[in-house]
A and B are shown apart, each in its own frame.
Chain A
Amino acid sequence: QSALTQPASVSGSPGQSITISCTGTSTDIGAYDSVSWYQHHPGKAPKLIIYEVTNRPSGVSSRFSGSKSGNTASLTISGLQAEDEADYYCSSFTSSGQYVFGSGTKVTVL
């Protein structure tokens, strides 16, 4: 199972909005509404920020939102803040009953 495809890096200025794409296939992202997104600061444990494509866990800022179209999922961060600088990973359940992560995107706040 190949990793889902994400851009290596995305940057934006404070207050701007950025979007990270996550492209898979009809056997993972396209097959299930199981896409999750994780924020990962180096040296810390990853943190769940979006699940089931669009849902935010309790306590996660409403500045994070998710969507999906076909085989591509997206994470949007609005009102970018310095603390949002981190690595972001998508994940999906697959038709083979396993899980796959995205290649990861480094978000830089300019």
Chain B
Amino acid sequence: QVQLVQSEPEVKQSGTSVKVSCKASGYTFTSYYIHWVRQAPLQGLEWMGMISTSNGGTNYAQKFHGRVTMTSDTPTSTVYMELSSLKSEDTAVYYCAREPPGTYRFEYWGQGTLVTVSS
């Protein structure tokens, strides 16, 4: 069955970086896009960007341009999301989600990774 398993919670200092992983299984890794979505406390869902696992192409939300980097490692079927220059407002649960290319839907989601940024 399709699974997206994310890395453990992280606690980071302001100004540092965090790298969250999303390991896929149960399907052909390179046939689907992976998106990253976050939810800050008491806030709604926020789209951060996506990566094509077939060619590494990325598309980042304008809000995160220059601070986010998404990468894909085919041998391990793992996608990474690195967010730099962390601020307290980046405290959130970060989710990865799978999209069949060109379908605009996030059909499977990871369990979420809590990132806490302390000053």
Stretch at the interface among A12-20, A43-51, A68-76, A77-85: A43-51
**A100-B47 in contact given A36-B105, A46-B109 (Cβ < 8 Å):** yes
**Chain A: minimal CB distance from B71 (Å):** 19
> 18 other contacts beyond A99-B47, A100-B47, with CB at 8 A cut-off?
A1-B61, A1-B62, A36-B105, A38-B45, A40-B45, A45-B111, A46-B95, A46-B109, A47-B109, A48-B105, A51-B105, A52-B103, A89-B44, A89-B45, A99-B50, A99-B104, A101-B47, A104-B45
Distance, CA A103 to CA B44, complexed state (A): 6
Interface size class for chain B? 20 to 34
Contact of A91 among B47, B59, B62, B107 (CB under 8 A): B47
**Chain B: minimal CB distance from A52 (Å):** 7
Residues of A within 8 A of B (CB): 1, 3, 32, 34, 36, 38, 40, 45-48, 51-52, 57, 89, 91-93, 96-104
**A101-B46 in contact given A46-B106, A52-B105 (Cβ < 8 Å):** yes
Distance, CA A47 to CA B97, complexed state (A): 10
Which of B45, B59, B106, B110 has the most A CB atoms < 10 Å from its CB? Answer: B45
Residues of A within 8 A of B110 (CB): 45
Residues of B within 8 A of A100 (CB): 47
Contact of B104 among A40, A52, A102, A103 (CB under 8 A): A52
B104 and A32 contact, CB distance less than 8 A: yes
**Chain B: minimal CB distance from A6 (Å):** 9
**Chain B: minimal CB distance from A47 (Å):** 8
19 A/B residue pairs, CB under 8 Å, sorted by A: A3-B44, A32-B104, A36-B105, A38-B45, A40-B45, A46-B37, A46-B97, A46-B106, A48-B106, A48-B107, A52-B103, A57-B107, A92-B104, A93-B104, A98-B47, A98-B62, A100-B47, A101-B45, A102-B44
